[in-house]
Amino acid sequence: MTSREIADLTGKEHFHVKRDIEKMLRELGEDASKFGCIYLDGSNREQTEYALDRELTDVLLTGYSAILRRKVIARWRELEAVSAAGQIALPDFTNPAAAARAWADEVEAKQALQVELAAAAPAVEFVERYVDASGLLGFRQACKVLKVKENVFREFLLTKEIAYRLGRELAPRAEHLNAGRFEVKAGVSAKNEHAFNSMRFTTKGLHWVAGEFAKHQLASQAHHH
Question: pLDDT exceeding 90 applies to what percent of the chain?
Answer: 23
Among residues 64, 65, 62, 33, the alpha carbon closest in space to that of 50 is found at 33
pLDDT band at 85 (very low <50, low <70, confident <90, very high): low
Q: How far is C-alpha 85 from the geometric centre of its chain's CA atoms?
A: 12
Mapped onto helix, strand or coil, the DSSP state of residue 51 is strand
pLDDT digits (tens, 9 = 90+) for 199-214: 888 888 888 888 888 7
The Cα diameter of the chain in Å comes to: 75
pTM for the complete prediction?
0.42
**Is pLDDT at 189 greater than 70 in this prediction?**
no
The answer on pLDDT for 80 being more than 60 is yes
How large a percentage of the chain has pLDDT more than 70? 69
Under the banding of pLDDT at 50, 70 and 90, the label for residue 163 is: very high
pLDDT confidence band for 173 (50 / 70 / 90): very high
pLDDT at 18: 95
Domain residue spans of the chain: 1-84, 128-224
Lowest mean pLDDT segment, chosen from 66-80, 103-117, 134-148: 103-117
What is the reported pLDDT for 197?
60
Q: In what order do the strands lie in the sheet with 182-188?
A: 136-137, 195-202, 182-188
pLDDT computed for residue 125 by the predictor: 55
Q: Is a pLDDT exceeding 50 seen at residue 107?
A: no
Per residue in 197-208, is it b (16+ CB within 10 Å) or e — as a string? Answer: eebbbbbbbbbb
- Given this model, what pLDDT does residue 156 score? 94
